[in-house]
Chains A and B, each alone.
Chain A
Amino acid sequence: MVKSGLFEGYDTGSFYDEMFSAPGQPRPHYAKLFQKLAAMAPGQFEERRRLADLSFLIQGITFTVYSDGRGTERLFPFDLIPRILPQSEWERIDRGLSQRVVALNLFLQDVYGKQSIFKDRQIPRWLVYSCPNFRREVIGVEVSRGIYTHICGIDLVRDSKSGDFYVLEDNVRTPSGISYVLENRLVMTRTLPDAFQACEVLPVNHYPAELARILRSLSPRGEDGAQIVLLTPGIHNSAYFEHSFLAQQMGIQLVEGRDLIVDGGIVYTKTIRGLKRVDVIYRRVDDEFLDPLTFRADSILGVPGLMGAYRAGNVALANAVGNGVADDKAIYSFVPTFIRYYLGEEPILKTVPTYLCANPGDLSYVLEHLAELVVKAVGESGGYGMLMGPAADRAKIEEFRERIRANPRNYIAQHVVPLSRVPSYDPSTGSVAGRHVDLRPYCLYDGEKVTIVPGGLTRVALQHDSMVVNSSQGGGSKDTWVLRGEG
């Protein structure tokens, strides 16, 4: 056995450990990193960690949490020990995600178009129409090049029992986090250059260029001279850093709703030299805030008349309006059906068995087994509106029981997937311990092929025993390395 330094006394526990196949036994694709890290003195590691933190702070790579009602800027905690995947495993994930993205896009085309899936009785119409994020207003709207799901973030987890990856949820509205993938990588190469160099890691930094290419291709007036903008809710949005980062990386204008105006069905930016036409909007504002004339009248984030311009085909939006129907957590259990129905293929990636509280049979099972299940509100994301049965107290369980009874359609339940773990540094003890992780790869779809930057965002639950990885719930992140070859 190798001398283990930083990993002295590390306990892999009863979970799948991404780094070790047995105590002190690194998996082949982690062997080089293990040698580098184990040779490091604990003080040295701590010093590198501080440098990384300082670098995030000075660059202002922060997100905003709203627990105290006024919003506080926080660092998204970054753990220096990367999550590593060998190339063969990644390629399978890549194929599975591509298949899924194409199927989700076909489903959205169908739901807002011909609706053949209802006629062929693959999914009940009422279930789709009752999604909180189903948008009647865009039925029959022809979207540019037939693309709805330009950008998807699909959350994967590795089940500790089988060691297999499962899709946990789809995010096809305005998924965020890619900026952390890119910034984590940059900080990582500066902080642990020797370890990084020892492993052959596939690059990720082509993401902004690929996204910019897709956005340009959507322009209704052709690509020459097209004005592309990124619409942000503004500085108080938790993902504001990402919006400005992506705009800068793509060389496009970052705008707020108040920078835009619609006149005669055309969208313009207000510039110091007058109005300038906008062709494509990468919007990071939710559907219901986009246009106060169509959706929420009290929205000050949107642009009055934007939906009119969109319907007329004068401006393209990415992602399309109405996508929330595809990442509804009740619809989730039908995605394998979509893959078989639209593509005639078997799903490559597994999905977690799901109880739909809308079904009376499922409902009674869920209500009887709340303490064992994870319950999720169908239209929420970011770890909000969720019950972790095994970790919850009685009061919380009873609160959810009432909520589910009051509105069964709004809830689904799943058995807890015991997430795999990656060794992570705990600054309070100065030692390394196993922490649960998920993986969110970012998929870009140009209408023909899906491009996924190798890896994605590995989110880590930094609290001991916690399985909730969302940044809003105390999670952090890790750099994700996909190796060239098997390591």
Chain B
Amino acid sequence: MLSRIAESLFWLARYIERAEDTARILDVNYHMMLEQSQQSYRLRWEPLVIMAGEEKLFHEFYSEANAENVFEFLAFRQDNPSSIVQCISKARENARTIRDRISREMWEDINGLYYTVTRFRPEDEIAAGPHRFCDLVKFGAHRFHGVTDATMPHDEGWEFLRVGWSIERAEMSARLVDVQYYNLLDALPSVGAPDNHQWMAVLRSVGAYEAYHRQYHSAIEPEKVAEMLILHPRHPRSIRFSTSEVQAGLRAISGSPAGSYANEAERLAGRVVERLRYDRVDEIFKQGLHGYLNDLLRMCGAIGDDIARTYFYYAVVA
């Protein structure tokens, strides 16, 4: 497979995942906040922008973060490279450059999604609230996964897709826990009691609310939420599960057997997975959640770089 094609597959999957994750976070937070008091208004919207990693850009356009402008910024703005519409456009651009290598159904599906989201009129949606739009993006992404699974050979190209969406998902979950947790810790003294609504929103935004209750049979506690999102072995959006998927995909590409590695990306992925397998949530909190998550994010970034070095880039041979 051409290196360029592998790279496009990897980014196609990442962009779809990023669009979905952003849609989930927007939708859930928006509706939770409708039920909330107005007192820590700014505090609540700001984290969404931080999670998307675009707070600097955001403040170039807006003076304060509120429901309307955060929605506009994260969903529609053409000049925000991480907005949902931009992610889907870039996913489509990547798909277009490799449309001879993906199934016709995949191409038509993503092309259709692109035309659907670009036809939304932001002003109408902002007035109506994000649910309709976010739901459409979320199910658009699910459909893409389904169509991909059902129509594309599960060969090395498919593995690059899997590595792409898994690494994006791991990073997004890490950022979600990190930002929400610190936001809440800051808020605790003034609010006086743990803000369960906020944690419910976190669980809902990764589709883990029901699973949490099945697992813990208890009230929502921040440590347990963190445990679920970081260490759960089976939940598809936990960091542990997502990084295991990255590792499995990389191994399938190189053919290296369990317990060994063929390149730096596999070595790092193996290290992250093993660490998550044996760490306990109380230890994580003892050593500091923020530092722990940042470490994971750095490792994910390094894995991405090493994938590119191993498979995508050719040094110029003299």
Q: Verify A270–B2 contact, CB threshold 8 A.
A: yes
Which of A107-115, A134-142, A257-265 lies on the face that meets chain B?
Answer: A257-265
Q: Is B107 an interface residue (CB 8 A)?
A: yes
Determine the distance from Cα of A248 to Cα of B314 in the docked complex, in whole angstroms: 25
- In the complex, the answer to whether B111 meets A259 with C-beta atoms within 8 Å is no
- Nearest Cβ in chain B — how far from A288, in angstroms? 23
Whether the Cβ atoms of B3 and A270 lie closer than 8 Å is: yes
Chain A residues with CB below 8 A from B312, complex form? 272
Is the Cβ of B100 less than 8 Å from the Cβ of A254?
Answer: yes
Query: Is the CB–CB distance between A255 and B97 below 8 Å?
Result: no
For B115, list chain A residues within 8 Å (CB).
Answer: 57-58
B156 touches A272 (CB 8 A): yes
Q: Is B128 an interface residue (CB 8 A)?
A: no
Over the window 250-263 of chain B, the binary record of Cβ atoms lying under 8 Å from chain A Cβ atoms (1 yes, 0 no) is 00010000000000
Contact string against A for B residues 1-39, beta-carbon threshold 8 Å, 1 for contact and 0 otherwise: 111101000000000000000000000000000000000
Per-position binary interface string of chain B over residues 303-315, scored 1 when its CB falls under 8 Å from any chain A CB and 0 otherwise: 0000000011010
1/0 contact string of A237-268 vs chain B (CB within 8 Å): 00010001101100001111011010100000
Kindly list chain B residues whose C-beta atoms are within 8 Å of the C-beta of A272: 1-3, 6, 156, 253, 311-312
Closest Cβ neighbor of A243 among chain B residues: B100
The answer to whether the Cβ of B219 comes within 8 Å of any Cβ in the partner chain is no
B108 within 8 A of A: yes
Instruction: Render B89-101 as a binary contact track against A, CB cut-off 8 A, 1 for contact.
Output: 0000100110111
| Contact assessment for A263 and B3 in the assembled complex, using a CB-CB cutoff below 8 Å | no
**A162 interface hit (Cβ, 8 Å):** no
**In the complex, which residues of chain A have a beta carbon less than 8 angstroms from the beta carbon of B53?**
none
A273–B311 alpha-carbon span in the complex (Å): 8
Q: Would you call B317 an interface residue if the criterion is a C-beta within 8 Å of the partner chain's C-beta atoms?
A: yes
User: Does chain A have a CB within 8 A of B301?
Assistant: no
B146 within 8 Å of A (CB atoms): no
A residues near B104, Cβ cutoff 8 Å: 59
Residues of B within 8 A of A256 (CB): 4
Taking a contact as CB atoms under 8 Å apart, the answer to whether B2 and A269 are in contact is yes
On whether the beta carbons of A60 and B4 are closer than 8 Å, the reply is no
The size of the chain B interface, using a CB distance under 8 A, is 23
Tell me which of A234, A247, A263, A269 contacts B100 (CB under 8 A). Answer: A247
In the complex, B112 has a CB within 8 A of chain A: yes
- Shortest CB–CB separation between residue B15 and chain A, in angstroms? 15
Min CB distance B113 to A, Å, is 11
A51 CB–B CB distance under 8 Å: no
CB nearest neighbor in A for B314: A270
Taking CB atoms, residues of chain B closer than 8 Å to A248 are 99-100
- Cross-chain contact B2 with A58 (CB below 8 angstroms): no
Which residues of the partner chain B approach A22 to less than 8 Å between Cβ atoms? Answer: none
Whether A244 pairs with B314 at a CB distance below 8 angstroms is no
> Once the chains bind, are A60 and B107 in contact (CB under 8 Å)?
yes
Closest to A249 in B: B100
How long is the Cα–Cα vector from A57 to B119 in the complex, in angstroms?
14
A48-88 with Cβ < 8 A to chain B: 57-60
Quick one: CB contact mask for B217-248 with A, threshold 8 Å, 1 for yes? 00000000000000000000000000000000
User: How far, in whole Å, are A234 and B104 apart by their CA atoms in the complex?
Assistant: 19
**Is the C-beta of A407 less than 8 angstroms from some C-beta in chain B?**
no
A261 with B317, Cβ < 8 A, contacts A244-B100, A248-B99, A272-B311 known: yes
* Chain A: CB-nearest residue to B1: A272
Separation in Å of the B190 CB from the closest CB of chain A?
A: 50
**Complex Cα–Cα for A238 and B19 (A):** 28
Q: What residues on A are CB-neighbors of B317 within 8 Å? A: 261, 263
Residues of B near A58 (CB, < 8 A) are 108, 111-112, 115
Q: How far is the CA of A272 from the CA of B4 in the complex (A)?
A: 9
Is A235 interfacial (CB 8 A cutoff)? yes
Enumerate chain B residues within 8 angstroms of A57, measured Cβ to Cβ.
115
| B318: nearest chain-A partner, CB-CB | A263
Inter-chain contact B2/A235, CB cutoff 8 Å: no
Name A244's closest neighbour in chain B (CB-CB).
Answer: B100
Q: How far is the CA of A234 from the CA of B115 in the complex (A)?
A: 22
Q: CB within 8 A of B2: which of A60, A234, A255, A263?
A: A255
Residues in B neighbouring A234, C-beta threshold 8 A: 97
CA A273 – CA B99 in complex, angstroms? 21
**What CA separation (Å) do A375 and B253 show in the bound complex?**
58
Shortest distance from the beta carbon of B107 to any chain A beta carbon, whole Å: 7
Which of chain B's residues has its CB closest to A252's CB? B100
- Closest A residue to B156 using CB positions: A272
CB of A271 within 8 Å of the partner chain: yes
Expressed in whole angstroms, the Cα–Cα distance for A302 and B298 within the complex equals: 37
User: Chain A 209-253 against B: per-residue CB contact (8 Å), 1 yes, 0 no?
Assistant: 000000000000000000000000011000010001101100001
A254 to B93, CA, bound (A): 16
Interchain CA distance A253-B112 in the complex, whole Å? 25
Closest chain A residue to B160, Cβ basis: A272
Question: A357 CA to B185 CA in the complex, in Å?
Answer: 83
A259 adjacent to B3 (CB under 8 Å): yes
Residues of A close to B101: CB separation below 8 A? 254
Which chain B residue shows the least CB distance to A255? B2
A349 to chain B, nearest CB (A): 35
- Contact yes or no, B93 A235, CB < 8 A: yes
Contact between B4 and A259 (Cβ–Cβ < 8 Å)?
yes
Contacting pair B3 A261 (CB below 8 A):
no
Residues from chain A with a CB closer than 8 A to the CB of B93 are: 235
A51 to chain B, nearest CB (A): 15
> What B residues does A273 contact at CB under 8 A?
1
- Contact A60 B96, CB 8 Å, known A261-B317, A272-B311: yes
Contact with A along B65-97 (1 / 0, CB 8 A): 000000000000000000000000000010011
Contact (Cβ within 8 A) B2 A271 = yes
Q: B112 touching A258 by the CB < 8 A rule?
A: no
Rounded to whole angstroms, the CA-CA distance of A276 and B11 in the bound complex is 24
Q: How far is the CA of A170 from the CA of B55 in the complex (A)?
A: 57
Contacts of B156 in A (CB 8 A): 272
Q: How far is the CB of B11 from chain A (nearest CB, A)?
A: 14
- Assess A235 versus B97: contact at CB under 8 Å? Given A255-B2, A271-B2, A272-B6: yes
Residues of B within 8 A of A261 (CB): 314, 317
Beyond A244-B100, A248-B99, A254-B101, 9 additional pairs, beta carbon < 8 A: A59-B107, A234-B97, A235-B96, A240-B96, A253-B2, A255-B2, A258-B4, A259-B3, A272-B3
27 contacts between A and B (CB under 8 A): A58-B108, A59-B108, A59-B111, A60-B99, A60-B108, A60-B111, A235-B93, A235-B97, A244-B96, A248-B100, A253-B2, A254-B100, A254-B101, A255-B2, A259-B2, A259-B3, A261-B314, A269-B2, A270-B314, A271-B2, A271-B3, A272-B3, A272-B6, A272-B156, A272-B253, A272-B312, A273-B1
Chain A residues in contact with chain B, CB under 8 A? 57-60, 234-235, 240, 244-245, 247-248, 253-256, 258-259, 261, 263, 269-273
Q: Which 6 A-B pairs have the closest CB atoms?
A: A248-B100, A244-B100, A247-B100, A272-B311, A254-B100, A60-B111
